[in-house]
Structure 1
């Protein structure tokens, strides 16, 4: 009940900033349109592999649409602010565990972003560039599950980044490092299979392909093994959950209240 309340409250808070979010959505549309235009230009002289020009248009549109659900989350889930103010000590002694509490709030923001940002952005691209919907009914369930796990993995990563501010004072550099790496090996700019061999090998050992590439290719029905991708993503979710709870226990030992 508490987590559902936190979800609703966060959702309603974001409703108060619809105008600001609309401006950001327009910015996302502009960037997405630029990326798509680049691939259209490249497609005029190159075959673009198994995707083709239309496939890359759909690929970029889907990637651009889900950024607000996977990568553009609250920096560190707000933990750094709690550390700077000292309120982290109060949050850690609450009878509710810090991780699911902050995660529930972030899910409220993600729910809002899905309805008011991701769907409108994708609908715009789908209409302008005539992007078809998936043909197989199972694709919708697979894509939804993949996207939920992608968001959850990103929540966990941001939680761990925020937790590090307890030792470093601030962890923004870790956030931007995470963002930079994600842009390269998550499959956002180009499909994973087009990366150089060494980068593909690195990506295979990280959760990043399951943040962008897997949800998008499952939705576009170009993924070779969607069920296997979901199983691997679930494994990453379980690992990050255990790590988040473990780091929280470490945080409890780290925090000092008036030297005690």
Structure 2
């Protein structure tokens, strides 16, 4: 059943191929801007900064741009809207776990996004700035697993934020705060390795680095199994928390008709 939901999630987003191509083009533009900025910072720092040179910094940017759509670091309120309208009652009546069902569909979405939006951006980066990538298959195999964990972890975080709709009338405040904090601490703005010590400590106490910095490090060969273990622990913890909060909210849910 969940495999079918994965396929349906893939097919759902494959219906918007033109939008995906437009998104890939936009991300390429941002990738050019970000890589130019980071390469300039590296040049100002003397050619190296926290283990990054100009090419590895550009590689970091292009990998981040390729993964940002799949991991989904953007606004998402589908569950909150269903709670607000009462449609969540339909999910509760189905013979499937709502959280796992939406997770399977989200993984299907991520697979399509990675293929149509992510890989073309890496090709653009390879042509324009060059990419510093490993020459052995192991980092890519581990990287694929890390990307899957990062996507699942991102879903678990977004699921928890959406569940605040059980108690709040408007999700825009919590979701905006989540997006601001997560985009900084996950390494989307600059690599987490560039953070000052106090901010690196704060980031390490959150799941956000595991959503972007971690898969990039694994693909670039900077880390391995230990990073996947951290991602898995965060995912399991947030999955348990999401199930508990959903059960708590469902108990107080009241919709017209019962």
Classify the TM-score, shorter chain: over 0.9
Task: Quote the residue 1:134 is aligned against.
Answer: 134
- Tell me, in whole angstroms, the C-alpha distance in 1 between the residues paired with 2:100 and 2:75: 15
Equivalent residue runs for 1:249-260 within 5 Å:
249-258=247-256, 260=258
8 Å contact kept, 1:60–1:189: no
Task: Quote the residue 2:225 is aligned against.
Answer: 227
Once superposed, what is the RMSD of the aligned Cα atoms?
1.7
Kindly provide the CA deviation profile for residues 60-102 of structure 1, in whole angstroms up to 9, marking residues without a partner as x.
11111100112336603x1122123211122122221110111
Task: Quote the residue 1:62 is aligned against.
Answer: 63
TM-score scaled to structure 1, two decimals?
A: 0.92
- Tell me, in whole angstroms, the C-alpha distance in 1 between the residues paired with 2:54 and 2:100: 42
Equivalent residue runs for 1:94-105 within 5 Å:
94-105=94-105
Equivalent residue runs for 1:195-206 within 5 Å:
195-206=195-206
In the alignment, is residue 167 of structure 1 matched against residue 178 of structure 2? no
Task: Quote the residue 1:87 is aligned against.
Answer: 87
8 Å contact kept, 2:75–2:175: no
8 Å contact kept, 2:76–2:158: yes
Task: Quote the residue 2:234 is aligned against.
Answer: 236
The SS at the match of 1:75 is coil
Q: Which runs of 5+ in 2 are unaligned?
A: none
Kindly provide the CA deviation profile for residues 113-152 of structure 1, in whole angstroms up to 9, marking residues without a partner as x.
0111111111221222221431232211221111111100
Higher mean C-alpha displacement, 41-50 vs 244-253 = 41-50
8 Å contact kept, 1:73–1:106: no
Task: Quote the residue 1:212 is aligned against.
Answer: 212
- Tell me, in whole angstroms, the C-alpha distance in 1 between the residues paired with 2:190 and 2:256: 51
In the alignment, is residue 72 of structure 1 matched against residue 93 of structure 2? no
How many angstroms does 1:210 deviate by? 0.6
